[in-house]
Amino acid sequence: MRDLLSPVIVAPMAGGPTGTELVRAAAEMGTLGFLAAGYKTPAAVEDELRAVRGVPHGLNIFVPTPAPADLEPLERYRLLLRDEADRYQVDLPPLRVGDDDEFAAKVELAIAYGTPLVSFTFGVPEPAVTRALRAAGSRVLITVTSAGEARRALASAPDALIAQAGAAGGHASTTSPAGYRGGSVAAEVLAAVRAVTDIPVIAAGGVASAADVRALLGAGAAAVQCGTYFLLADEAGTRPAQRAAMLSGDYRETVVTRAFTGQPARALRNRFTDAYSAVAPIGYPAVHHLTAPIRAAAAKRGDPSALNLWAGTGFAAARARPVADLIAGLVADLPD
């Protein structure tokens, strides 16, 4: 397993930032990048897998979350969002629950393409899924946010775990969204997860410098996963509105919010997070589908006030530079 990992891994960032150009650029620097299957159709995922054949890469897949038993909080939230729909002149869709993001089809694609590394977020795949992927030559990683989640993940016999801190940008992989506050840092989650397993553990969350990478590797991480640091990379597919927001200097803090998708996620604080974080229910992906037209319209207008500006606590370290320069900065002074 360790021979497939590079010291720094480019995280899967769903919604556009991590695409084939970013993964290929990372590979040219001897660094592994993950494609993000979340939100994409199987056909789009297959196109990306074809495009990165022959270079080191991974694929991240969302584990389906159970549909909420009580739909009333989601209905109430839909009513609250009418003002946003009017603001952006869009129609709110009906509630859509039970969406599995075509999980089985995406796993089958990973198997068919012999994807070197396959990671899972939002839960633990069934052991049969892990066995099928390993039989196809893949190595399986599961993202966890605590020692308890790590213990449950081990039941699926993964090859490695990704210890995701609350400082990470984007969705938290927590399976306990109600009590999640995102207050942890990478070093403490790494230590907690390593205490319950001997398999490799990758550290993730809030990494913003070569010193961070060295410290986590020195603390026993098999590799360090970075996402936000690459959001402004020339090769990243980050939306223009988010690039402009991050470069403006107007956004100076992050918050953990369920406002956009119903799952806790860290984002730059904006008008939407201020207005809806306190009232947004748990309910991924139902809330994601509800807010999607609003976010799409805001993006089209170049209006970051209603966008999910996913970013970790180290967002100020992101720079608009080629991937090669960014990776060189993170691995500076690492031993060969």
- Predicted pLDDT of residue 334: 85
Q: For the segment 106-143, what is each residue's pLDDT rounded down to a tens digit?
A: 999 999 999 999 999 999 999 999 999 999 999 999 99
Short-list 5, 54, 16, CA closest to 231? 16
**Rounded mean pLDDT for each run of 10 residues along the chain, 336 residues in total:** 88 95 97 96 98 96 91 97 98 93 98 98 98 97 98 98 98 95 97 98 97 97 98 97 96 97 98 98 96 97 97 97 97 81
Amino acid at position 150, single letter: A
- Predicted pLDDT of residue 180: 95
- Across the beta sheet with 170-171, the strand order is 170-171, 265-268, 254-257
Short-list 187, 219, 178, 175, CA closest to 64? 175
- Predicted pLDDT of residue 98: 82
- Predicted pLDDT of residue 336: 65
Q: For the segment 36-72, what is each residue's pLDDT rounded down to a tens digit?
A: 999 999 999 999 999 999 999 999 999 999 888 899 9
Tokens matching residue 224? 């360090």
List the domains of the chain with CATH numbers: 2-64+100-237+317-330 (3.20.20.70), 68-98+252-308 (no CATH)
Q: What whole-number distance in Å separates Cα of residue 289 and Cα of residue 319?
A: 31
CB 1 within 8 A of CB 159: yes
Q: For residue 174, give every residue at least 6 positions away whose Cβ sits within 8 Å of its Cβ, in sequence order, or none.
A: 145, 146, 149, 180, 264
- Predicted pLDDT of residue 191: 98
Residue 334 burial (CB count, 10 A): 12
- Predicted pLDDT of residue 67: 85
Residue reference for tokens 């608009």? 320
Amino acid at position 132, single letter: A
Amino acid at position 206, single letter: G
